[in-house]
């Protein structure tokens, strides 16, 4: 997603079918329109996971999502092309590298 103000007060975990799942709340700064070098992504989760291998189960779920399906879903929600393509780029980054590298956000900052 790349919420630009993600912090511990606006996400939580829930157990569904015996698995922990992250649920994001407070979506006011989610899906940025462009890579903002000044504001960047402010996410405790992204900062902690940056260049760290993701859990095998999480990675399996992420790799199961086809980029075209994400693109269509976000477009159907009315997101702009810039916001949609940014989300797809971040998905592909994780799918291809098995981790968050931050390359799909360049020249933006990750704080």
Domain chopping of the chain, boundaries: 8-105
Give the ranges where the chain is alpha helix by DSSP (H).
44-49, 56-64, 67-76, 81-97
Range 91-101 average pLDDT: 95
Taking all residues of the chain, what is their mean pLDDT, rounded to a whole number?
80
Q: What is the pLDDT of residues 15-53, one digit of tens each?
A: 888 887 776 655 556 677 777 667 667 777 888 899 999
pLDDT of residue 51: 94
Strand partners, 16: 19
Please give the model's pTM, rounded to 2 decimal places.
0.71
Residue 82: what are its φ and ψ, rounded to 5°? -60, -45
Q: How many CB atoms lie within 10 A of CB 36?
A: 14
Nearest CA to 11 among 60, 45, 37, 41?
45
Confidence of residue 9 (pLDDT cuts 50, 70, 90): low
């Amino acid at each position: 997603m790349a919420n630009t103000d993600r912090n511990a007060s606006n996400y939580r975990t829930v157990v569904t079918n015996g698995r922990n799942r992250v649920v994001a709340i407070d979506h006011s700064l989610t899906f940025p329109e462009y890579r903002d070098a000044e504001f960047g992504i402010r996410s405790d989760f992204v900062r902690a996971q940056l260049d760290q291998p993701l859990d095998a189960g999480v990675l399996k779920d992420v790799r199961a999502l086809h980029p075209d399906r994400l693109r269509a879903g976000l477009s159907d929600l009315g997101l702009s092309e810039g916001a949609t393509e940014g989300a797809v780029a971040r998905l592909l980054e994780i799918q291809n590298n098995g981790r968050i590298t931050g390359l799909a956000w360049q020249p933006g900052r990750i704080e």
